[in-house]
Amino acid sequence: MPPINVPISEAESRVMEVLWQQAPLASEQIVAAIQQHSDWHEKTIRTLLNRLLGKGAVEATRDGRRYLYAPLLSRAQWQSQESHSLLDRVFGGRVAPLLAHFSQHEKLSAKDIAELRKLIDAIEQKER
């Protein structure tokens, strides 16, 4: 199956998070999971679910008198879309200015820096 490339809003991503954690789920289960951590109304959550269905990010399968929903867009695909979008819009498609921004604003911990060093070392090893 080819990668799905659909824009997902921040609100829609909350619905996707529930489905990425456990799927398939009935709409009642999705509503209950989201309402545990927010004051969103049931109608709002169902509207977001229908938008995701219309975008092709989720699928609905009939199960008796109800539908079960499952993601078609994987978390990895979404992360890739979002990271490329951020890089393109804010940093001209380049990673170095992004990292410079975070380092200047003290958003990189010692653990983050160590992980980045490992990634850079791995990239350099591949290129040899």
**Among the listed residues 54, 55, 53, 58, the one whose alpha carbon sits nearest the alpha carbon of residue 72:** 58
Summarize pLDDT for 2-48 with one digit per residue, the tens. Answer: 557 889 999 999 999 999 999 999 999 999 999 999 999 999 999 99
Instruction: Tell me the CA distances in angstroms from 114 to 6, 15, 55, 110, 119, one per residue in order.
Output: 33, 33, 39, 6, 9
Whether 76 shows a pLDDT value over 60: the answer reads yes
- At the topology level, CATH places domain 1-92 in Arc Repressor Mutant, subunit A (1.10.10)
Average pLDDT, the chain: 91
What is the per-residue pLDDT for 3?
59
pLDDT band at 1 (very low <50, low <70, confident <90, very high): low
The residue that leads in pLDDT, 111 or 48, is 48
Q: Which two tokens stand for residue 30?
A: 């999705």
Q: Which two tokens stand for residue 50?
A: 């229908």
What integer is the mean pLDDT of 100-111? 82
